[in-house]
């Protein structure tokens, strides 16, 4: 007879936090969200921490080098997706590690023989109004001009007009030489009243842009996550098939932490992979494992040598593992169970192994609930897929901007390694869907707003650190009717568009 859990499988939506006593010190500016990402011994400091408790999911539609830089600027870590060639993934990691803060590689480029319509299509895809004109239309090509929104008027120009006819030619541009300091580049921006300064090499090839708008943003990035060499921290996903070739390439590229990407991690495959890492690298390579949903799975991966353990099966917005295979657990129940196991392991072994809640986050307040239930940090897919910095295309569907978002178990990604059970090297059936998510704009302002809500709720609970939140928060189950009561009800909501010019 099967073993049964007495408690139902619960989601974050079934809980609310109960306010606690808030002292005068419980102010948003006093809240610290710093959290460990890898295991450490009692009395010691972890070798790797984050300044915010958010990491981006190991997905094609979410985590590439651009996302990694954007999230590191805010204090989190992106795990660059592993469902690509080893060379491509290692190149993305190397690109993040070589990124110079304030110097932005151009991802909006066009040839001079293309048309205004081509330019408008490019702007639609990227959202950028500053476009480099290079001979071959690549970011590394010889720069021949620049186009901004001031160079053309859509209402008075033919869409077939060639870019060369309205661009600002290179000879009229103010440019900086490759190797210039950020301080001097910013001085050039201000002295010449520019919004963007192209940085070129001796062959007139475009290397970077320095933007005026980034100056203040850089000053505000107090939480940016840097290593000892002042390079951004970056993670990467691996699988349990080609790890012996992939991990050395990622290490050579400078990766700071890796994580096994699997829909279900309580397996000998992950134990074998962790043993290989320890045999070949000792503790110098930090590797997370998962996913699991109960104490037994956590204990197995902890004993196998995982640096952190990821929780969640079937809770992601594009994941259909539960309906396809009938396995999984409500994310709230899974986090609570694994958090208890982590604390028991710490008392027994004196080793604290952080846990990551992966999936089940629908609203911002679910982040606070997951952290209060014991998660050290959260892995998010749909949340980050909505932003400018995600790799997917921005489209217009039914008059609304959306971003494409697909699961690693979808036919589009075909990441069979993530669902590998030692059989044929193929995806036998789908465990993810292909979808759209509402476009939400830049990562920075969205992450800061979400974490402002987390900090505010923590203050309501009388907590100014995540450790205090885990130890001191109070929580209650909610009924279906209390969920209705918690939203706007028994009123007719106004839908007013305010005139901002008043």
The C-alpha atoms of residue 308 and residue 315 are separated, in whole angstroms, by 19
Q: Of all helices (H) and strands (E), which one includes residue 299?
A: helix 295-304
Q: Report the C-alpha dihedral over residues 443, 446, 447, 450, rounded to 10 degrees.
A: -160
Q: Catalytic: which of 26, 259, 287, 319?
A: 319
The single-letter DSSP state of residue 232 is: B
Q: Of all helices (H) and strands (E), which one includes residue 176?
A: strand 176-177
The C-alpha atoms of residue 200 and residue 194 are separated, in whole angstroms, by 16
Side-chain-side CA neighbours of 167 within 13 Å: the count stands at 26
Task: Check if 356 is active-site.
Answer: no
SS3 sequence of 2-18 = CCCCCCCCCCHHHEEEE
Which runs of consecutive H residues, i.e. helices, occur in 305-442?
A: 321-325, 331-349, 364-372, 382-385
SS3 sequence of 403-420 = EEEECCCCCCCCCHHHHC
Look up residue 59 and give its two tokens: 């997905």
The C-alpha atoms of residue 257 and residue 259 are separated, in whole angstroms, by 7
The single-letter DSSP state of residue 394 is: E
Q: Catalytic: which of 66, 207, 342, 418?
A: 418
Contact 378, 447 (CB under 8 A): no
Angle between helix 212-220 and 182-191 (nearest 10): 130
Over the Cα atoms of the chain, what is R_g? Answer: 24
Please choose, from the candidates 340, 81, 69, the residue with its C-alpha nearest in 3D space to the C-alpha of residue 225: 69
Task: Check if 259 is active-site.
Answer: no
Which runs of consecutive H residues, i.e. helices, occur in 127-170?
A: 163-166
The C-alpha atoms of residue 438 and residue 395 are separated, in whole angstroms, by 10
Burial label for 71, CB within 10 Å (0-12, 13-18, 19+), is: buried
Please give the positions annotated as active site: 319, 418
């Amino acid at each position: 007879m099967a073993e049964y859990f007495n408690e139902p499988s619960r989601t974050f939506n079934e809980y609310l936090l109960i306010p606690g006593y808030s002292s005068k010190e419980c102010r948003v500016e006093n809240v610290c969200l710093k959290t460990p990402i890898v295991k450490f011994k009692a009395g010691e400091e972890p070798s790797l921490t984050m300044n915010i408790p958010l990491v981006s999911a190991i997905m094609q539609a979410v985590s590439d080098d651009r996302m990694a830089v954007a999230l590191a600027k805010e204090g989190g870590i992106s795990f660059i997706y592993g469902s690509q060639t080893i060379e491509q993934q290692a190149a993305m990691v190397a690109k993040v590690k070589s990124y110079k803060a304030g110097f932005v590689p151009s991802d909006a480029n066009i040839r001079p023989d293309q048309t205004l319509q081509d330019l408008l299509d490019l702007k639609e895809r990227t959202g950028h109004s500053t476009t480099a004109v290079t001979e071959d239309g690549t970011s590394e090509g010889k720069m021949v001009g620049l186009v901004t929104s001031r160079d053309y008027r859509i209402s008075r120009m033919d869409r077939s007009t060639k870019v060369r006819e309205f661009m600002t030619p290179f000879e009229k541009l103010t440019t900086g030489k490759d190797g210039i300091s950020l301080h001097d580049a910013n001085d050039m921006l201000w002295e010449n009243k520019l919004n963007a300064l192209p940085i070129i090499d001796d062959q007139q090839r475009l290397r970077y842009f320095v933007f005026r708008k980034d100056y203040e943003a850089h000053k505000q990035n107090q939480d940016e996550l840097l290593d000892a060499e002042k390079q951004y921290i970056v993670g990467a996903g691996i699988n349990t098939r080609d790890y012996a070739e992939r991990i050395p390439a990622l290490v050579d590229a400078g990766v700071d932490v890796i994580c096994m990407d699997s829909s279900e991690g309580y397996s000998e495959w992950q134990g074998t992979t962790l043993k290989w890492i320890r045999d070949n690298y000792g503790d110098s390579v930090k590797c997370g494992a998962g996913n699991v949903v109960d104490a037994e799975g956590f204990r197995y991966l902890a004993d196998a040598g995982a640096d952190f353990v990821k929780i969640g099966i079937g809770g992601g917005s594009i994941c259909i593992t539960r309906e396809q295979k009938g396995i999984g657990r409500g994310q709230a129940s899974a986090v609570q169970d694994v958090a208890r196991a982590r604390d028991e392991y710490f008392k027994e072994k004196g080793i604290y192994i952080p846990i990551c809640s992966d999936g089940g986050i629908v609203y911002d307040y679910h982040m606070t609930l997951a952290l209060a239930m014991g998660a050290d940090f959260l892995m998010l897919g749909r949340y980050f897929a909505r932003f400018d910095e995600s790799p997917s295309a921005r489209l217009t569907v039914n008059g609304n901007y959306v971003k494409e978002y697909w699961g690693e178990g979808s036919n589009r990604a075909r990441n069979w390694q993530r669902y590998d059970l030692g059989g044929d090297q193929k995806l036998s059936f789908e465990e993810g869907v292909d979808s759209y998510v509402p476009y939400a704009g830049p990562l920075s302002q969205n992450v800061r707003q979400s974490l402002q809500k987390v900090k505010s709720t923590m203050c309501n609970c009388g907590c100014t650190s995540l450790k205090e939140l885990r130890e001191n928060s109070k929580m209650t189950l909610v009924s279906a009717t209390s969920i209705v009561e918690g939203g706007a009800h028994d009123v007719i909501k106004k839908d007013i568009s305010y005139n901002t010019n008043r």
